[in-house]
């Protein structure tokens, strides 16, 4: 029997509580009979940035009784990080259903979101692999997040698939409506196609899910409206994958980058994100017929308009590839309402390429600094 609970989080300052002390009340309302406590974790980050929330850390755990509530107090000083930036908060149920919100300035009331302590949920535990190169899972019902008071700019659940390698690094993230067209959501199910190049032949885990985000107005103790953002995220059951084979190893593995004296961190096979802070990256790749390039974990400034490759072809002629990367394209890759717009981009080339140079440009064609990057993988054409 399906058992789904709705978690309602209410932040309220009780009568007589000092203004610098906020009382947080968590209430669990099962939609079907559920007699046990539901354990949730309240988390906070170290302070939001212009990119969104930073990494979350445990703040307090609550065991919430069914048909009841549990409360705890948060000092106003705890709502800001060490640098004074407002913290993001998140209520996390088993790393499966999470509601993030902030900034917490005064009393707020968050929307309810679904949890399923009673067992497997048909909408959150039904991801399968019909083939070695395809994942399918149910789309998230909009009712899994109830409307917030005075909400606006709320979009419907948007679906994604994350590829995590055996070292725990995020190798790739597919989004509904991204440029690859690899994911299609309709008729209550989402389907995504992939192959071993996304993990470069390593074993790993697929983690499908969805998020929806919006904004709401709350009022302070003087009745003044304040804006607060929220995001609900659901993760499906994890699936193990892994295709081995030389065809999944990029031709660029181990290739040197100009300006890096040791191993190039963008061709070493690690998907960990690295600080770049350069205007371009030059790869010492020998002449290779490249079928496609995977650009992983790219962050850049808001001024970026194109991603560019300059290279020499087999006849020694200088060639150029320009890929649009405007705010709209980057918005497709935004990881929810709080996450920064990490870009995982596939560039189909089918070209002879030698010593390719990666750089970003603004609308005027001037170079834009590459902030961070995980890996650039050049895959050889298999004739």
Question: What mean pLDDT do residues 297-313 have?
Answer: 88
Cβ atoms < 10 Å from Cβ of 31: 14
Out of 213-217, 222-226, 363-367, least confident range: 222-226
pLDDT: which is higher, 88 or 225: 88
pLDDT of 128 over the 90 cut: yes
Last residue of a domain, one of 91, 120, 149: 120
Which H or E run includes 335? none
If asked whether residues 232 and 274 sit together in one domain, one would say no
Mean of the per-residue pLDDT values for the chain?
Answer: 84
Between the two ends of the chain, the Cα-to-Cα distance in Å is 53
If asked whether residues 308 and 283 sit together in one domain, one would say yes
**Cα–Cα distance list, 178 to 71, 324, 328, 332 (Å):** 41, 12, 11, 6
pLDDT of 255 over the 60 cut: yes
Q: How many domains does the chain have?
A: 3
What's phi and psi for 143, nearest 5 deg? Answer: -70, -10
**pLDDT of the residue at 230:** 85
Percent of the chain whose pLDDT exceeds 90: 43
If asked whether residues 108 and 40 sit together in one domain, one would say yes
If asked whether residues 199 and 89 sit together in one domain, one would say no
Let me know: does 209 contact 183? Beta carbons within 8 Å. no
Specify the pairing of strand 370-373 against strand 151-152.
Answer: unpaired
If asked whether residues 261 and 372 sit together in one domain, one would say yes
Last residue of a domain, one of 245, 279, 307: 245
List residues bridging with 64 in a β-sheet: 38
**pLDDT of the residue at 28:** 63
58-113 pLDDT tens trace: 988 988 777 777 777 778 888 888 888 888 889 899 999 998 888 777 777 777 78
CATH code of the domain containing 82: 2.60.40
- Print the domain residue range for 76: 1-120
Question: What mean pLDDT do residues 272-281 have?
Answer: 93
**pLDDT of the residue at 5:** 45
Out of 57-61, 238-242, 298-302, 315-319, least confident range: 298-302
If asked whether residues 279 and 351 sit together in one domain, one would say yes
CATH code of the domain containing 263: 2.60.120.260
How far is the C-alpha of 205 from the C-alpha of 182, rounded, in Å? Answer: 18
How far is the C-alpha of 102 from the C-alpha of 100, rounded, in Å? Answer: 7
If asked whether residues 161 and 217 sit together in one domain, one would say yes
If asked whether residues 229 and 271 sit together in one domain, one would say no
Last residue of a domain, one of 207, 224, 245: 245
If asked whether residues 286 and 344 sit together in one domain, one would say yes
Using omega within 30 degrees of 0 as the cis cutoff, is the peptide bond preceding 287 cis?
no
Who contacts 123 (Cβ-Cβ below 8 Å, separation ≥6)?
Answer: 138, 140, 141, 144
Question: What mean pLDDT do residues 284-288 have?
Answer: 95
Q: 313-316 long-range contacts, Cβ below 8 Å, gap at least 24?
A: 313/351, 313/352, 313/353, 313/354, 314/287, 314/352, 314/354
Question: What mean pLDDT do residues 359-382 have?
Answer: 93
Predicted confidence band at 336 (pLDDT cuts at 50, 70, 90)?
low
Who contacts 312 (Cβ-Cβ below 8 Å, separation ≥6)?
Answer: 287, 318, 319, 353, 354, 355
List residues bridging with 186 in a β-sheet: 189
pLDDT of 33 over the 50 cut: yes
176-201 pLDDT tens trace: 877 778 899 888 999 999 999 999 98
pTM reported for the whole predicted model:
0.85
How far is the C-alpha of 114 from the C-alpha of 92, rounded, in Å? Answer: 11
Predicted confidence band at 29 (pLDDT cuts at 50, 70, 90)?
low
If asked whether residues 351 and 254 sit together in one domain, one would say yes
The secondary structure of 237-277 as a DSSP string is: --EEE----GGGS-TTTT--BTT-SS--TTSSS----EEEE
If asked whether residues 83 and 69 sit together in one domain, one would say yes
If asked whether residues 51 and 96 sit together in one domain, one would say yes
**Cα–Cα distance list, 290 to 76, 169, 173, 249 (Å):** 55, 25, 22, 13
């Amino acid at each position: 029997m399906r058992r789904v609970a709705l978690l309602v989080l209410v932040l309220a300052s009780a009568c007589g509580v000092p203004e610098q002390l906020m009382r947080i009340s968590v209430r669990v309302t099962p939609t079907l009979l559920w007699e046990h406590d539901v354990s949730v974790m309240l988390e906070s980050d170290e302070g939001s940035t212009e990119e969104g929330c930073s990494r979350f850390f445990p703040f307090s755990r609550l065991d919430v009784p069914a048909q009841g509530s549990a409360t705890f107090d948060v000092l106003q000083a705890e709502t800001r990080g060490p640098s004074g930036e407002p913290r993001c908060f998140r209520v996390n149920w088993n790393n499966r259903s999470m509601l993030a919100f902030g900034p917490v300035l005064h009393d707020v009331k968050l929307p309810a979101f679904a949890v399923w302590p009673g067992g497997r949920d048909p909408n959150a535990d039904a991801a399968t692999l019909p083939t070695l190169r395809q994942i399918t899972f149910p789309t998230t019902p909009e009712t899994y997040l109830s409307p917030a008071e005075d909400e606006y700019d709320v979009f419907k659940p948007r679906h994604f698939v994350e590829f995590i390698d055996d070292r725990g690094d995020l190798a790739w993230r597919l989004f509904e409506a991204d440029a690859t067209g690899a994911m299609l959501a309709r008729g209550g199910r989402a389907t995504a196609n992939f192959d071993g190049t996304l993990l470069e032949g390593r074993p790993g885990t697929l983690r499908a899910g969805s998020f929806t985000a919006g904004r709401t107005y709350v009022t302070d103790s003087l009745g003044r409206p304040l804006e607060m953002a929220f995001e609900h995220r659901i993760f499906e059951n994890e699936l193990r994958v892994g295709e081995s084979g030389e065809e999944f190893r990029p031709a660029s593995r181990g290739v040197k980058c100009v300006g890096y004296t040791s191993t190039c961190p963008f061709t070493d096979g690690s998907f960990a994100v690295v600080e770049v802070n350069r205007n371009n990256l030059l790869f010492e790749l020998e002449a290779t017929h490249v079928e496609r390039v995977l650009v992983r974990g790219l962050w850049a400034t808001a001024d970026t308009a194109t991603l560019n490759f300059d290279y020499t072809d087999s006849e020694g002629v200088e060639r150029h590839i320009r890929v649009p990367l405007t705010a709209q394209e980057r918005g497709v890759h935004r990881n929810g309402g709080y996450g920064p717009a990490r870009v995982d981009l596939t560039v189909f080339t089918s070209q002879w390429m030698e010593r390719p140079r990666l750089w970003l440009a603004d609308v005027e064609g001037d170079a834009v600094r590459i902030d961070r990057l995980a890996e650039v993988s050049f895959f050889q054409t298999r004739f």
